[in-house]
Amino acid sequence: MTQDPYEILGVSRDASADEIKKAYRRLARQLHPDVNPDPETQDRFKDVSRAYEVLSDPAKRQAYDRGGDAFGQGFGGAGQGFSFTDIMDAFFGGGAAGAGGQNRGPRSRARRGQDALIRLDVSLAEAAFGVTRELKVDTALTCEACEGKGTAPGTSPVTCETCHGQGEVAVVQRSFLGEIRTLRPCAACRGYGSVIPDPCRECSGDGRVRSRRTLTVKIPAGVDMGTRVQLTGQGEVGPGGGPAGDLYVEIHVEPHATFTRHGNDLHTTVTLPMTAAALGTQLTLPLLEADLERSEDAGDGEDAGTVTTFDLDVRPGTQSGSEQVIKGFGVPSLRGGRGDLVVSVRVDTPTRLDPRQEELLRELAAIRGEETPDGRVQAPHKSMFGRLRDAFQGG
């Protein structure tokens, strides 16, 4: 019989509190004594209940994750975590707060920490091909002096005298209908059922301290502006040694000198002399991969065989404003595949002609019958946006 509470409940090690609760409810419904009283099933029900007791309590779960014995101690202790309410929830549904809208008994000092968000500036090539970066992160970490317990060395929390460890006190109000008795969280211990008489000096009893550390983060190929990379359990540690939240690294891509990105396509513009556009030529175009050779901390995309240039054939008679699509030389997609590289051509008309050049051009114009051209009159060139607008307006 396994002693691993994750295995007993059939959940993964990074299962959320909600997933654990759902798994427990499902098993409790099958194994509960009222449903299935045979002894073997009852042994399983006990195991499932114990497993849930450990995994539903952040402090116990973290203790187990750190290599502690899940069931060796604490079971049946202060009556924390596992409660009648959870059994009722398993059968009758109900929210996380339980049937009465309130948990019974003292609450745990350990709570899950908050998620943290940091921004990371990367180059376009790093976003496209992935990069491994060292990040300085400021978050709350478990206090080493007290191991998250919040107590000074050699001391421990004592039972609250006001509520006798219950974490809540009965408030009685008299009304013409008689006495109304309600339970409120105990103010003396803030509902914990115990007080820390001698708080740890390092963390003032919070169980955690702020600290700066360096994390190595692998950014996958294909991220874009605003993509958030999740690092599970690297956020803020919770109070009372509670489990840490997650850290999100939000990608910010720096603009590139020659490429702009549209989805997974890259766009660039090449400027050609008028003669080359007319006669045709071959160009060596630097690809985005060329940036990887320059950066020292480049990601996985780089190896000795990486192609960094593309030989572009410019056909004779290429028009200014025309585009050539080079398939598969855009940005790799997070889901696999790669976008295209779109090269726009701009034809450069010469501005200063010496007498010999002017003579040659005039001669060419004469041969082509272009000495007094009419110029072709036509409707203004419509952009994609203009065509869409016309489509919507029925124009």
Residue with Cβ nearer Zn ion (238 or 299):
238
Applying CB under 5 A, among 63, 90, 163, 314 the residue interacting with Zn ion is: 163
What's the min distance (Å) between Cβ of 80 and Zn ion? 14
Min dist CB 174 to Zn ion, Å, is 24
Residue 235 annotated as lining a ligand binding site: no
How far the first Cα of the chain sits from its last, in Å, is 75
Binding mask 195-234 for Zn ion (x = CB under 5 A): -----x-xx-------------------------------
Largest CA distance in the chain: 114
- Residues 112, 79 contacting (CB under 8 angstroms): no
Q: Which stretch binds Zn ion (CB under 5 A): 187-195, 280-288, 327-335, 358-366?
A: 187-195
Annotated binding residue at 203?
yes
* Inter-CA distances, 137 with 116, 123, 211, Å: 9, 20, 8
User: Which residue has 């790093």 as its token pair?
Assistant: 126
> Which residues, 58 to 87, sit near Zn ion by CB under 5 A?
none
Q: Tokens standing for 289?
A: 């991969």
Q: Read out DSSP for 140-203?
A: EEE-TTTTTS-BPTT---EE-TTTTTSSEEEEEEEETTEEEEEEEE-TTTTTSSEE-SSB-TTT
Q: CB of 298 within 8 A of CB of 292?
A: yes
Whether residue 149 is annotated as binding a ligand: the answer is: no
Size of the site for Zn ion (CB under 5 A): 12
- Tokens 């359990």 correspond to 233
Does 140 appear as a known binding residue?
no
Q: How far is CA 38 from CA 33, 45, 128, in A?
A: 8, 11, 59
User: Rounded distance, CA 246 to CA 230, Å?
Assistant: 7
**Scanning residues 101 to 160, which ones bind Zn ion (CB under 5 A)?**
143, 145-146, 160
Smallest gap from residue 141 Cβ to Zn ion (A): 11
CB of 76 to Zn ion, least distance (A): 21
Strands in the chain per DSSP E: 116-122, 131-142, 158-159, 168-175, 178-185, 194-195, 208-219, 228-231, 247-253, 260-262, 265-273, 281-286, 309-314, 323-326, 341-348
Nearer to Zn ion, 131 or 141 (CB): 141
Contact flag: residue 288 with Zn ion (CB under 5 A): no
The residue with tokens 């605003």 is 226
> 208 among the known binding-site residues?
no
CA distance 156 to 172: 32
Q: Is 186 annotated as a binding residue?
A: yes
For Zn ion, give the closer residue by CB, 123 or 142. Answer: 142
Of the listed pieces 96-104, 184-192, 319-327, 341-349, which binds Zn ion according to CB under 5 A?
184-192
CB 256, min distance to Zn ion, A: 47
- For the bound state, the minimum distance from the C-beta of residue 188 to Zn ion, rounded and expressed in Å, comes to 4
Upper half-sphere CA count for residue 391 (Cβ side, 13 Å): 7
Cβ-based nearer residue to Zn ion, 187 or 325: 187
Residue whose structure tokens are 């539903």: 56
325-364 residues near Zn ion, rule: CB under 5 A: none
Q: Is 189 in the site for Zn ion (CB under 5 A)?
A: yes
Residue 109 C-beta: closest distance to Zn ion, Å: 12
Tokens describing residue 24 = 């427990």
The reply to whether 200 sits in an annotated binding site is yes
Among 110, 186, 249, 343, binds Zn ion (CB under 5 A): 186
Residues paired with residue 175 on neighbouring β-strands, in sequence order = 178
Q: What are phi and psi of 356, to 5 degrees?
A: -65, -45
> Minimum distance from CB of 143 to Zn ion (Å)?
3
| Nearer to Zn ion among residue 90 and residue 160 (C-beta) | 160
Binding-site residues, in ranges, read 143, 146, 160, 163, 186, 189, 200, 203
Give contact residues for Zn ion (rule: CB under 5 A): 143, 145-146, 160, 162-163, 186, 188-189, 200, 202-203
Binding-site residues for Zn(2+), in ranges, read 143, 146, 160, 163, 186, 189, 200, 203
